[in-house]
Structures are given as structure tokens and as C-alpha cells.
Amino acid sequence: MPLEESPAWSGLPVNVEKILKEQQANYLLTRLWQVQDVNEEEIRLESVKETTTKKKKGEEAVPQVAWLRDLDERVNKYLGILPTNIEKLNRTAGSITNPLFRFLEREVTVATNLLNRVRGNLLEIKNLCEGKVQSTVDMRKLAKELHSDEVPVSWKRYTVAKLSVADWISDFKKRLDQFSGLIPVKEYRKK
């Protein structure tokens, strides 16, 4: 008996092996594109004039692509706009009985968590732009969204109109400032 039998005896088309190998090749290419950086070709095609080197005291020069340099400038601007934290409400036995206090405390907690996420993501992208960390798929996706001026999905915790990232950051800052204006009024006791 031959080592390889024709697939025709089981009712399959004669070219089934060819179809199977094509499907495996397509799957492999799909996985390869997921791993490979989509911007890699663009980076290679950029001229030498578009790449610069940033040099800080005591560090060696790090080549930086033009779009990363622009993104780094924007991220620094966003980090300058956003506060580092939000003051927490003063929780007391009397204030916890007030539903308005509990509502405001929940809102401040949600805003604090979102602020921490946004600042954390911006710091990750800043490190990526400076070449301090290796990029991951999530970081590349985030960098791509920020570079194309789209608000990342993980930041959309409240509904707003379709805004650019700069406008969204400005709106978020105003929302945080509202909390800061409310927080000094720390007494929410029933009278």
C-alpha cells in the first residue's frame, strides 16, 4: 500500500491538501501581521531627515521617528494639563448617612480611577516615545489612537460628543476641576 492515499476515497476533493496548506499559510500570515508592527514599513521608508536624535546629559543619543517626536510633545502637553490626583472627600460617621455625600464620593472615586488610567497610559506612551520601554501590541494601539487624535476606548467612561484627544483632555480637566470646587464643602450632614 502507498504511504499517501488519495483524499478521493473519503469523498474529499483531490486538491484538499492544497486548500489545507493555503488556509494554514493564511492563518500564519494573519498571526504574523498581528505580531509585526504595522508602522514598521513607514519607519523604514522615512528619510534620514525625518529622524532626529534626542540627547540628554549623560545619555547616548536615541533615534526618534518624526511621528513619535510629535506624539511625545502632545503627551507632555496632556500630562501638563491633567492634575496628578483629586482630593478625597472627608468621610465621617455623619457624612456617610447622607445620600448626596455617597453619590459624590462614588463619582470622585470613578474620576480618580479614570485619571490614574489616563495618566498611566500617557506615561507609558511617553516612555515608549523616549525609547525607555519596548512596545507591546496594546501600547502600539494606544499610540496609534493618540497619534490619529482619537480618544482611546479605555478612556471613554462617560458619554461626550465625538472630540479630539486635546478637547477630551480639556473637558476631563474641567470635570475634575468641578470636583475640586465641590470637595472643600466637606460637610454633608443632615440638619
Identify the pLDDT of residue 187: 47
Q: Is 48 exposed, middle or buried (0-12, 13-18, 19+ CB in 10 A)?
A: exposed
What total of structural domains would you count in the chain? 2
Q: Do 79 and 11 fall into the same domain?
A: no
What residues make up the domain containing 14?
Answer: 7-36
Nearest-angstrom CA–CA distance, 133 and 125: 9
pLDDT tops 60 at residue 22:
yes
Q: Are residues 141 and 95 in the same domain?
A: yes
Indicate if 32 and 113 belong to the same structural domain. no
Distance CA 166, CA 164 (A): 5
**Whether residues 116 and 189 fall in one domain:** yes
Q: What is the CATH number of the domain that holds 75?
A: 1.20.1270.280
99-150 pLDDT, tens digit each? 888 888 888 889 999 999 999 999 999 988 888 888 888 888 888 888 888 8
Does 48 have pLDDT greater than 70? no
Q: Which one has a higher pLDDT value, 169 or 30? A: 169
74 and 150 housed in the same domain: yes
Residue 28 and residue 119 in one domain: no
Whether residue 28 sits in one domain with residue 85: no
Does some domain include residue 47?
no
Does residue 17 fall inside a structural domain?
yes
List, for residues 75-99, the tens digit of each pLDDT value: 999 999 888 888 888 888 888 888 8
Question: pTM score, two decimals?
Answer: 0.62
Strand partners, 62: 54
Do 25 and 100 sit in the same domain of this protein? no
Output the nine-digit C-alpha cell for 98. Answer: 447622607
Find the mean pLDDT for residues 22-32.
87
Report yes or no on 53 lying in a domain: no
- Whether 187 maps to a domain, the answer reads yes
133 and 175 assigned to the same domain: yes
Whole-number Å distance between alpha carbons of 10 and 150 = 53
Residue-averaged pLDDT of the chain: 78
Any domain includes 90: yes
The reported pLDDT for the residue numbered 58 is 54
Which of 179, 148, 182 has the alpha carbon at shortest distance from 165?
148
Contact present, 165 and 147 (Cβ < 8 Å):
no
Q: Identify the pLDDT of residue 59.
A: 52
**Same domain assignment for residues 100 and 146:** yes
What is the model's pLDDT at position 189? 40
Q: Is residue 103 located within the same domain as residue 168? A: yes
Query: Do 25 and 113 reside in the same domain of the chain?
Result: no
